């Protein structure tokens, strides 16, 4: 039974093995008589037909002892037309040496010709090739598995998009570039490539573009490098370009994993209720009361988060939103602040590379106040260089960080010894009454006056100023 010619381009699941690897097996005793040893072998086939063309798929090592070989030139031409990768000729029992006409024809057509010595059966060559292919397949699977783990780890980092591109470029030993819909380079990683290769890669990525039904990938060569481009699945026209010195088995699979991860990282996080939610936001913009549209936004209560930081890429805000588990994010507000809305109770945790300010949980009517709380919390986080600060309810005192307040109090009251501090505290608690303070401290009223005057001098403050009195009262508290 012959194999249909329509399957001639199909290849086995195992990666090809270079002829050089088979020639390196000393136990086989093979010898290259013509052609290159760099050709890839996809499989092996033995045939003694005068014309093996109908039985060849292409890419195989064809083995023959020349039983029906009558016209070497015609035989080689038909083997080349069938797409065989190489020809192996076994000497004895038919021929004592490889026919010179066969060597000449193979050299003329560029078909590698291998001499198989008498002591080596064809089955030994076939078994060696299958073993080499199994080893190559195992290596490829291990390489792909390790690459998948590396890419997944990179996707979980604070700057996932550059990290994934860096991991991809490292695994493929080349350069990886993420292009925007307009063809501009958004993020890149890996070794630099020549300018002509960079242009060729950008042009190849432009072949894909955002056209509906267009190709999902393309490959080519440029600047002496192997190029490949892949369309991301986010619908935003983003493409991934890869430039490498060579194409190895498994490269396409590894790049496919990166495409999936990058598609998830760069795509807007939109759920089935996106239309309802967007409609609610539109009604808010048109002046509807928050309580009226809260049901469409979610059950609430809500927590507002303000954030600064990220990796500077267009996808940083989306990555932060994904990490915090919310699709409601506004990027690029005042001074680069990212604002997020999370259903409470939200598990807002420290995010590497970000500074976060978190509001208290509020209902729809308190969203404006929560926005202000998150802004103040972010300012405190910046001032104290803390990665995350939460709003603390509880009056005016809660607006100041306890550690900051304690440090300020120590500095402010440092000039006063303890007896003067106690007198000042009693005097302020009794609203500046000389007589009541004297009774409380069991001293003369003139002593109180002298001590308060001494406090004013040491502090260099006007104690008749209500703002000064309030600040001192908080410091002494």
pLDDT single digits (tens) 241-296: 999 998 887 888 888 888 888 887 876 544 444 545 555 555 554 556 666 666 66
Please state, for a pLDDT cut of 70, what percent of the chain lies above it: 83
Report for 57-61, 135-139, 263-267: range of highest mean pLDDT: 57-61
At 7-51, the pLDDT tens digits run 444 555 668 899 999 999 999 999 999 999 999 999 899 999 999
For β-strands 185-190 and 174-179, DSSP reports them as antiparallel
pLDDT higher than threshold 90 for residue 81: yes
Confidence band of 59 (pLDDT split at 50, 70, 90): very high
Q: Which residue has the higher pLDDT, 122 or 467?
A: 122
Kindly provide the b/e burial profile for residues 363-383, where b requires at least 16 CB atoms within 10 angstroms of the residue's own CB.
Answer: ebebbeebbebbbebbebbee
End-to-end alpha-carbon separation of the chain, Å?
98
pLDDT higher than threshold 70 for residue 325: yes
Q: How far apart are CA 161 and CA 171, in angstroms?
A: 15
Report for 177-186, 192-201, 274-283: range of highest mean pLDDT: 192-201
pLDDT higher than threshold 60 for residue 326: yes
Full set of structural domains in the chain with CATH: 5-131 (3.40.1390.20), 156-266 (3.30.450.30), 274-399 (no CATH), 402-476 (1.10.10.2840)
Q: Is 87 left (phi over 0), alpha (psi -120 to 50) or beta?
A: beta
pTM of model > 0.85: no
């Amino acid at each position: 039974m012959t194999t249909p010619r329509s399957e001639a381009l199909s290849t086995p699941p195992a990666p090809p093995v270079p002829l050089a690897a088979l020639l390196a097996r000393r136990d086989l005793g093979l010898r290259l008589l013509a052609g290159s040893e760099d050709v890839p072998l996809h499989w092996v086939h033995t045939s003694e037909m005068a014309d093996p063309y109908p039985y060849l798929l292409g890419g195989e090592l064809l083995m023959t002892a020349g039983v029906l070989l009558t016209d070497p030139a015609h035989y080689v031409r038909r083997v080349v037309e069938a797409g065989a990768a190489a020809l192996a000729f076994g000497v004895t029992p038919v021929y004592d040496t490889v026919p010179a006409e066969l060597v000449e024809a193979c050299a003329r057509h560029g078909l590698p010709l291998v001499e198989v010595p008498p002591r080596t059966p064809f089955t030994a060559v076939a078994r060696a090739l299958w073993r080499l292919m199994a080893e190559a397949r195992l290596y490829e699977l291990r390489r792909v598995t390790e690459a998948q783990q590396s890419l997944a780890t990179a996707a979980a980092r604070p700057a996932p998009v550059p990290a994934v591109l860096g991991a991809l470029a490292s695994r493929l030993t080349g350069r990886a570039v993420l292009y925007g819909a307009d063809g501009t380079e958004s993020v890149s990683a890996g070794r630099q490539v020549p300018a002509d290769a960079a242009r060729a890669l950008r042009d190849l990525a432009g072949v894909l573009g955002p056209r509906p039904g267009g190709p999902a990938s393309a490959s080519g060569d440029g600047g002496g490098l192997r190029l490949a481009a892949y369309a991301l699945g986010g619908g935003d026209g983003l493409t991934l370009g890869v430039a490498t010195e060579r194409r190895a088995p498994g490269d396409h699979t590894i790049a496919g994993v990166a495409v999936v991860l990058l598609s998830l990282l760069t795509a807007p996080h939109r759920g089935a209720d996106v239309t309802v939610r967007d409609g609610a936001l539109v009604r808010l913009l048109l002046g509807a009361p928050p309580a009226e549209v809260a049901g469409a936004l979610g059950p609430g209560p809500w927590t507002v988060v303000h954030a600064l930081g990220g990796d500077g890429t267009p996808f940083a805000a989306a990555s932060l939103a994904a990490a915090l588990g919310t699709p409601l994010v506004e990027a690029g507000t005042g001074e680069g602040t990212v604002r997020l809305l999370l259903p409470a109770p939200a598990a807002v945790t420290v995010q590497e590379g970000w500074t976060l300010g978190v509001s208290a949980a509020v209902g729809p009517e308190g969203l404006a106040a929560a926005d202000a709380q998150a802004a103040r919390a972010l300012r405190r986080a910046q001032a104290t260089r803390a990665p995350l600060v939460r709003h603390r309810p509880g009056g005016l005192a809660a607006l100041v960080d306890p550690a900051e307040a304690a440090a300020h109090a120590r500095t402010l009251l440092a000039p006063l010894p303890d007896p003067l501090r106690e007198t000042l505290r009693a005097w302020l608690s009794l609203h500046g009454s000389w007589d009541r303070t004297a009774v409380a401290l069991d001293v003369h009223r003139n002593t109180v006056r002298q001590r308060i005057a001494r406090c004013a001098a040491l502090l260099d403050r006007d104690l008749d100023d209500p703002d000064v009195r309030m600040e001192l009262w908080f410091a002494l508290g």
